Copies of this chain bind each other. A is one copy, B any other.
Amino acid sequence: MKAEQNELLCRTDAGTPMGELFRRYWLPILLSWELPQPDCPQVRVKCLGERMIAFRDTKGRLGLIDEFCAHRGVSLYFGRNEECGLRCPYHGWKYDVTGQCVEVPSEPAESGYCQKIKLKSYPLHEQGGVVWVYMGPADLQPPFPEYEFATVAAEQTYTSKRSQECNWLQAMEGGIDSSHVSFLHSGALNTDPLFKGSKGNQYNLGDKKPVFEVVESEGGLYIGARRNAEDGKYYWRITPWVMPCFTMVPPRADHPMHGHFWVPMDDENCMAWSFDYHPVRELTELEREAMEAGKGVHVRVDRNFRPLQNKDNDYLIDRAAQKAGKTFSGVEGIGMQDASLQESMGPIQDRTKENLVSTDNGIIMARHRLIRAAKDLAAKGALPPGRDPVHQKVRSVAVVLPQGTPFKEGAGEALKAKAGVAQTSV
Binding site for B on A (CB under 8 A): 41, 68, 70-75, 77-80, 89-92, 104-108, 113, 117, 170, 173, 179-180, 182-184, 208-210, 317, 319, 322, 328-331, 337, 340-342, 344-346, 349-351, 353-360
A78 touching B179, Cβ below 8 Å: no
- Report how far A168 CA is from B172 CA in the complex, Å: 40
Can you report 16 A-B residue pairs in the complex whose CB atoms are below 8 A from each other? A41-B319, A70-B353, A70-B354, A70-B355, A72-B356, A73-B170, A73-B350, A73-B351, A73-B353, A75-B341, A78-B331, A78-B340, A80-B322, A80-B329, A91-B180, A106-B179
Q: Which residues of B contact A173 (CB under 8 A)?
A: 72
**Contact partner, A105, options B70, B89, B209, B349, Cβ 8 Å:** B209
- Give chain B residues whose Cβ lies under 8 Å from the Cβ of A328: 80, 89
> Other CB < 8 Å A-B pairs besides A73-B351, A78-B344, A91-B183, 9 of them?
A72-B345, A72-B360, A73-B354, A74-B341, A78-B329, A78-B331, A80-B322, A89-B337, A106-B357
Chain B contacts for A351, CB-based, 8 A: 73
Please indicate the chain B residues that have their CB under 8 angstroms from the CB of A73 in the complex.
Answer: 170, 345-346, 349-351, 353-354
Residues of B within 8 A of A330 (CB): 78, 89
Distance, CA A236 to CA B184, complexed state (A)? 62
A91 to B179, Cβ gap below 8 A? yes
How far is B179's CA from A137's CA once the two chains are assembled, in angstroms? 37
A79 nearest CB neighbor, chain B only: B329
Residues on the B chain within 8 Å of A74, using CB = 341-342, 344-345
Give Cα A347 to B90, complex, Å.
18
Nearest first, the 3 closest Cβ-Cβ pairs linking A and B are: A75-B344, A89-B329, A78-B329
> A344 contacts B77, CB within 8 Å?
yes
Give the chain B neighbours of A108 by CB distance below 8 A: 209
Contact of A71 among B78, B107, B354 (CB under 8 A): B354
Bound-complex Cα distance A70 to B356 (A): 9
